[in-house]
Structure 1
């Protein structure tokens, strides 16, 4: 539990933001580019305006970053270094816990 408390702290996400984070994480893991437009087109996440609002919220909370593409009108969505550090730490703790539970 102490190790969990030591994780980099980012503001909590609401359930829709967690689903958006999962989509962004899967795209990153499979090395696929994901634009704001691509994310807003995902009907299972809700209305495009709602998704856009949540992207803005997640940026201000430090979970997401938008980067330029070759088309200046399109922005690519990615995880921030703080979000990546959070998931790296969490992953390490989960692996450590899993190894400890096998003995």
Structure 2
């Protein structure tokens, strides 16, 4: 496939994502929230459990205060949930069904962009 064709696919994908982001039902996430949600989902998908404390320590994404605030926002938007262990000292973060639908919607944009 030529570079020009690949570029066209990418720009179709971007336009499709922009169009679904404008839907009132689509979750509004800022860049930090998106990156944090991607990290949570990647760990979850690979079978790893991400602790809240480990997420807050991801300095490449943001400061601990910023990450703590973004985790709260993701919870408020029903994108992540906390799972507490039996002893109550460890909180794990998992994506919710809303987050999984979000990823499915983005994936559908990829499929549609490559179908033309």
Q: How high is the TM-score relative to the length of structure 1?
A: 0.78
Do the aligned partners of residues 43 and 14 (structure 1) sit closer, same or farther apart at CA in structure 2, a change above 3 Å counting? same
CA distance in 1, matches of 2:32, 2:86: 29
Structure 2, unaligned runs of 5 or more: 1-15
Larger Rg: 2
Which residue of 1 is the match for residue 33 of structure 2? 17
Which residue of 2 is the match for residue 32 of structure 1? 48
1:49-68 residue pairs with structure 2 within 5 A? 49-68=65-84
Q: How high is the TM-score relative to the length of structure 2?
A: 0.70
How many aligned positions are there?
Answer: 97
Which residue of 2 is the match for residue 42 of structure 1? 58
Indicate the RMSD between aligned Cα atoms, in angstroms.
2.1
Q: Is the contact between residue 62 and residue 83 of structure 1 (CA under 8 Å) also seen in structure 2?
A: yes
Identify which range, 81-90 or 50-59, moves more after superposition: 81-90
Secondary structure at the counterpart of residue 78 of structure 1 = strand
CA distance in 1, matches of 2:81, 2:26: 14
